[in-house]
Structure 1
Amino acid sequence: MAVFDIAGTTVEEHGAVYQALRRAVEAAGATPGDDDIERWMGADKRAAIRALLASAPARAGEDPAGIDAAEVEQIFLDFRDRLEAAYQARPPMPIPGVVEAFGTLRARGIRIALTTGFDRSVVGPLLASLGWDGGLLDAVVCADDVPAGRPAPYMIFRAMELTGATAVARVLVAGDTVRDLRAGTNAGAGIVVGVLTGQVGASVLGAVRHTHLLASVADIPALVTGPTC
């Protein structure tokens, strides 16, 4: 089985998700820097909102876990509205070579799963807009499907359950963020690939445990010659 992130890994969305996240938490009074945003790339978006809110000067020292859930949800809905507007203005597109890579892998008997820090309300319309909701994928796991998002390995394990994969050492995980790579390593995946199509550079991804660092998902079929799981 091969497990891929969505935004920045398989889908080009021009950094809209992190622009929307930044603007939503800024509207709520937080002042995140670029490093703060990068630290939460690939994370469950509600968890990211909690942490970024706690970094606001007016909330110095506040425990993110103590932030009111209703406040987090209100900011999440603002984030989702901003992201939807951004996607309408500039629709996401498959990263070049990704659909072909999926086809090559599936032809070799490798099941394809997507995992994401988005929840189902964002992912459903996104995949429909790409035409990826009609059999291209074997499983899609969202942050709200598991107890904790990346770097916890639970989305990968859930994808294994959904596809019937049983040997984690024969699973490939690919993503464009530090959290993607850490989730793959925490899961025990045999192949953990960082791709450079997102917002994180090679120097940052290269400093995190991985097995391969590639320009794009399009290069992944060359790594495998048969079923991974």
Structure 2
Amino acid sequence: MTTMKTTRANLVVLDMAGTTVADGGLVEQAFAAAAQRLGEDPASMIDYVRATMGESKISVFRHLFGDEARAQAANAAFEEAYGELVDGGRIAPVPGAREAVDELRAQGRTVVLTTGFARATQDAILDALGWRDLVDLTLCPADAGGRGRPYPDMVLAAFLRTGAVDGVQQIAVAGDTSYDMLSGVRAGAGIVAGVLTGAHDKQQLQTHGATHVLGSVAQLPGLLAGADR
């Protein structure tokens, strides 16, 4: 007897900054502050920072500074600066994001939030938004072996830790950067949705593997409901 296979996306892995969290350019501001604290000119590096939005921040600093000690110092300065901006009330949900998560869960899906930030910064954002209990699981690169996007590790960690689905084709990934798209594709996710509320445009998202491009994460529950079979 053949068992009918389902491709319903019962595991949804969502990026934070730019996808569910509107940070108003705080990543660039925190990077500039970190570079200045180390005596570097942020203007010479900002293009690379923009191109690698979504990547683990320590990986970005390793590329920019080369030396591990200097990269760690830059990352610590970045996390401190970003935390100060969060504490100053400079962060808010993307309009409709919380409602979208609630709807996804009401549809019977497991929702995971991921980030390229360190755990302390991720927790500060969750606390500032009152999102500690919003989703089933939150992950940062350190929770998945230390590699962030564009590696598939956080998506696969969500798959393994939640046990929500039988195969990776039943995963939906959503994010605002090309690295979000790459991580979803490399993990084998059945749906890789780009959103236009963050760093990268439609062409960048599609070039890096987006199966769908949405105006915002608020449209994701409708997309997944229509794709269920």
- TM class by shorter chain equals 0.7 to 0.9
* Structure 2, unpaired ranges of 5+: 1-10
Pair 23,152 (structure 1): closer, same or farther in 2 beyond 3 Å: same
Runs of 4 or more above 3 Å deviation: 30-34
Pair 73,133 (structure 1): closer, same or farther in 2 beyond 3 Å: same
Note the 1:142-221 alignment, pairs <5 A: 142-147=140-145, 148-165=147-164, 166-221=166-221
| Maintained 8 Å contact 1:109/1:226 | no
> Quick one: percent identity of the two aligned structures?
38
Q: Offset at 1:2?
A: 0.4
How many positions carry a matched residue from both structures? Answer: 214
Q: Offset at 1:119?
A: 1.1
Deviates more, 1:16-25 or 1:74-83: 16-25
Q: Offset at 1:86?
A: 1.8
Give, as a single letter, the amino acid of the residue that structure 1 aligns with 2:135: L
Equivalent position of 1:18 in the other structure: 28
**Root-mean-square deviation over aligned CA pairs:** 1.8
| Maintained 8 Å contact 1:25/1:49 | no
Give, as a single letter, the amino acid of the residue that structure 1 aligns with 2:96: G
Give, as a single letter, the amino acid of the residue that structure 1 aligns with 2:178: V
Pair 51,203 (structure 1): closer, same or farther in 2 beyond 3 Å: same
Q: Offset at 1:189?
A: 0.2
| Maintained 8 Å contact 1:15/1:199 | no
Q: Offset at 1:226?
A: 8.4
Give, as a single letter, the amino acid of the residue that structure 2 aligns with 1:25: A
Q: Offset at 1:27?
A: 3.9
Alpha-carbon separation, structure 1, partners of 2:159 and 2:129? 24
Q: Offset at 1:30?
A: 5.3
| Maintained 8 Å contact 1:171/1:189 | yes
SS in 2 for 1:140: strand
Give, as a single letter, the amino acid of the residue that structure 2 aligns with 1:46: I
Q: Offset at 1:139?
A: 0.8
Q: Offset at 1:214?
A: 0.5
Alpha-carbon separation, structure 2, partners of 1:203 and 1:192? 14
Give, as a single letter, the amino acid of the residue that structure 1 aligns with 2:99: E
Equivalent position of 1:124 in the other structure: 123
Equivalent position of 1:5 in the other structure: 15
TM-score by length of 2: 0.87
Equivalent position of 1:60 in the other structure: none
SS in 2 for 1:224: helix
| Maintained 8 Å contact 2:86/2:128 | no
CA deviation map 1:48-74 (0-9, x unaligned): 111122xxxxxxxxxx3xx23x32222
